[in-house]
Structure 1
Amino acid sequence: MTQLDERKLDPAIALASLDETAPREPHRLYALKHGDCFAVADAYGDIRGAGDGFFRDDTRVLSEFRLTVGGRSLSLLGA
């Protein structure tokens, strides 16, 4: 009888083994707006500092932001 390796079945462990230095694609920007504020970020919620950022009254108040959970970058979910 073959033994199952529970580490291979646990998605949290599988995600933890991903290489965080690998390029994250796609780098398409999305805008969210509320009142006089808007944010421009990629699909992962990250603000990389080029034309993206968090703006209030047409002034950029945040130029870089990396969204993580438990110190790890997020993964995109597909439908």
Structure 2
Amino acid sequence: MAVYSISEARPKLGDIVRRAAAHQQTVITDHDRPIALVVNFNDWEDMEDTIAALRNQIARAEGVRPVEHEEAKRMLREAAAQAAR
């Protein structure tokens, strides 16, 4: 994994993005602290899906019933309508 400071990354942005497209991650640092990760967008979506699935498994193992997406949207609409009254 490549690591660049912000100032090093600026002129290499095209290369960093092409590396991400090739599934190679790049860390951007500020004063030697990692502050950003440039990663392939599809890889990031896969990571988000994996995290959501793992959270769901943990919740079920703990006996918590996860709220399905459509139910969550309905609940938010009802709360917004109630707040508007």
Task: Give the alignment's TM-score, normalised by structure 2.
Answer: 0.21
Q: Which has the higher strand share?
A: 1
Q: Which has the higher helix share?
A: 2
